[in-house]
Amino acid sequence: MIASEIGFGDALIVASAKSILGALFSGRFLSPSFLTGFFGAVSASLVESFLARFDFGYLSLSAMGSFVNNLVQLIVISFLVGSTKTFLLFPLMVILGLVSGTVNAFLASKMGGIVFENYSRFFFAQKKATDGITGDRVRS
């Protein structure tokens, strides 16, 4: 969801750095958990950056990012394990991902940029300002 606020390049850097630094600090660099997390985060950033261009709201961006993240993680695991039976977990992962994505979308709509007075951005994106300043604006 960060891609909708900071743009594709910066979102990709944040997603990559989060995965790499977390893996380095935990001693799990290039482990299966790193690979699934890294490729999932990068793919979610790509999808969310693309969809943010079309004025999707936080809920839509979060749901699609969650879906793609889970799908890519299972693809990576299936390559590492050598079995497609890992996809049996996909329905559960999607349900849990959508629940956590909805919570993230709600929190992002409350905290993104300058907090705004209504919750319309939860479902629909607000119009982008033309002055080049990022973040939401409170309307008076």
Q: Where are the alpha helices (DSSP H) in the chain?
A: 3-6, 8-26, 32-52, 58-81, 90-111
Q: Is 134 a member of any domain?
A: no
In this structure, is residue 39 part of a structural domain? yes
Residue 87, domain member (yes or no): yes
Q: Quick check: is 30 in a domain?
A: yes
Range of the domain at 89: 3-122
Query: Is the overall model pTM greater than 0.75, yes or no?
Result: no
Count of domains for the chain = 1
pLDDT category of residue 137 using cuts at 50, 70 and 90: very low
Give Cα separations from 58 to 7, 64, 103, 131 (angstroms): 14, 10, 10, 22
- pLDDT tens digits, 44-95: 988 888 888 887 778 888 889 899 999 999 999 999 999 889 899 899 999 9
Residue 88 lies in a domain: yes
